[in-house]
Structure 1
Amino acid sequence: MSSLVKAPPVLRVEGLRKAFGTTVVLDSLDLSAPEHTCTALIGASGSGKSTLLRCIDLLEVVDDGVVELDGRDITDPRVDANEVRTHIGIVFQAFNLFPHLRVIDNVTLALRRVHKVGSDEAEQRGLDMLDRVGLRDRAAARPDELSGGQQQRVAIARALVARPRLMLFDEITSALDPELVGEVLSLVRELREDGMTMLVATHEMGFAREVADQVCFLDGGRVLESGPPEQVLADPVEARTRQFLRRIIEARRL
């Protein structure tokens, strides 16, 4: 865990506030993600996990606070949001693949259209990334010919092919059948071992315990408690964290 102290943060969030009308979703939230670490975001539905990830990727306009990527304030109104997103990969619960495009075309579309990579290079990078996620042999398939786990791995390949500085995962297993969860989490585990800097919103406590360098418990739009997984998940300080984890355990017993 020493890397959490020594490594400079790839991402720093300070005083982040986001409201939708009168509903405050993020309330002066602080968080940092050092390089080559995985940060697991846990918390009940409505705690702000998804909104936080969307604000980091500039899919939502923040009301107040600062988001820095490698020391650069990306919440500055003068910043080109599309350029910032070329350095951040994000994968959602829904696969969001284009059903009329082949797998390889889904993976390489942004490379060709946004990053202006030539067709031949884009195709090779796409095939290499599909090989990385174990789906090179399905490059010519359409999304509806794949299982849910395979579609999610294609979505991850699409995000990774641009070689992002930071990866954001938003409950990427929640739409999958239980037997498909393992293959997707295994891929994220491999990315962690490769040193990818990641924020992972998850309800998989076992995965968070095994893979995360730090766990952040969100409640009421703030990081109520954070620390190594063995502390936050096994010996939490805050009563609200203990209550949340107790409910998770009880739900699995039903």
Structure 2
Amino acid sequence: MALLSCAGIRKEFGGHVVLDDLSLDVAEHQVVALIGTSGSGKSTLLRCLNLLERVDDGVITLDGEDITDPRADPDRVRRRIGMVFQSYNLFPHMTVLDNIVLAPVRVHSRAPQQARVQAREWLDRLGLADKALSYPDRLSGGQQQRVAIVRALVNEPRLLLLDEVTSALDPELVGEVLSMIRDLKESGMTMVLATHEMGFARQVADRVVFLDGGRVIESGPPERVLGDPEQARTRQFLARIIAAGRL
């Protein structure tokens, strides 16, 4: 059974269909990269997976539980799902450690001391132990994004969602985040990530999913989807990426 399963997902905004009968399965320990043009539905799908948006039709299951059931408690579901956005969203007046433990303590009622111990463990594992008492403005963009990832990991999620986490970074800082995500992959973390960076998708993903018009057009191993796509629409998309020097 897949860790995450989407069946027939539909989402509209003001009559505009953003996700159209989309189905997707993600196995445990798998890394799936979502690619496609802006407006193809990548970010909306991630927001639906984390229940930040409610689907209009279809079913999403996590560990076999229907999390799209109106009776599902979003806060309880989000304890099993971590999400990292393009912007870091760190509170500038709080230290790295305080940023990380804020949600576990205030939202999930975790004991402050326990939350701090777990936060420091994650910071140490991911090479940020010396930044625990620093403020965000003392960190590089890459370090801030890595802290945002640690903040999503502190609740030990079953699934990590990453939405364009390298797009706001200077090119020389992308490697920091890419290395961290590789480490998470090696540790067995299940991830779904949306990205415009094809090299990023090629390096970290087990499977690449090309979205267009809110539908899955093509899905498969990175070397096939990015190197020898079967669908004409995928080939057209990648030709533009290559012309722009991004593959």
TM-score range, shorter chain: over 0.9
**Selected match of 1:52 from 45, 48, 52:** 45
Give the whole-Å Cα distance in 1 for the aligned partners of 2:49 and 2:30: 17
Tell me what 1:64 maps to. Answer: 57
Q: 2:149 is matched with which residue: 150, 156, 171?
A: 156
1:202-217 matched pairs, under 5 angstroms = 202-217=195-210
SS of aligned partner of 1:95: coil
1:181 to 171, 174, 189: 174
State the AA in 2 paired with 1:52.
L
SS across alignment from 2:29: coil
The within-5 A match list for 1:164-179 is 164-179=157-172
In structure 2, what residue type is equivalent to 1:159? A
Q: 2:88: which partner in 1?
A: 95
How far apart, CA to CA, are the structure 2 residues paired with 1:195 and 1:219? Answer: 29
Find the partner of 2:220 among 196, 215, 227.
227
Cα deviation digits, residues 33-53 of structure 1 (max 9, x gap): 000110010001100000000
2:127 maps to 134
Amino acid at match of 1:166: L
Q: Which amino acid aligns with 1:75?
A: T
Verify: 1:252 aligned to 2:242, yes or no.
no
Aligned to 1:108: 101
Quote the Cα distance in structure 1 between the aligned partners of 2:126 and 2:146: 6
2:185 equivalent in structure 1: 192
Q: Quick check: 1:34 aligned with 2:27?
A: yes
Q: TM-score, normalization: structure 1?
A: 0.95
| Residue aligned with 2:72, SS | coil
Per the TM alignment, residue 210 of structure 1 is displaced from its structure 2 partner at its CA by 2.1
Residue segments in structure 1 that go unaligned for 5+ positions in a row: 1-7
| Partner Cα separation in structure 1 for residue 108 and residue 125 of structure 2 | 21
Matched, 1:125 2:115: no
> Residues of 1 paired with 2:15 and 2:109: CA distance?
41
Determine the structure 2 residue equivalent to 1:5.
none
Structure 1 residue ranges (4+ consecutive) displaced by more than 2 angstroms after TM superposition: none
**Residues of 1 paired with 2:242 and 2:161: CA distance?**
26
Q: Secondary structure at the match of 1:252?
A: coil
How far apart, CA to CA, are the structure 1 residues paired with 2:182 and 2:43?
A: 21
Question: Which of 194, 209, 215 matches 1:201?
Answer: 194
* Shift of residue 81, structure 1, vs aligned partner: 0.7
Question: How many residue pairs are counted as aligned between the two chains?
Answer: 246
The TM-score with structure 2 as length reference comes to 0.97
Identity over the aligned pairs, expressed in percent?
65
The aligned counterpart of 2:66 is 73
Q: Give the letter aligned to residue 251 of structure 1.
A: A
Describe the SS at the equivalent of 1:158.
helix
Q: Could you say which residue in structure 2 is the equivalent of 1:145?
A: 138
Deviation at 1:207, TM superposition (A): 2.2
Unpaired runs of 5+ in structure 2? none
Distance 1:207 1:100 in 2: 32
Aligned residue type for 1:107: I
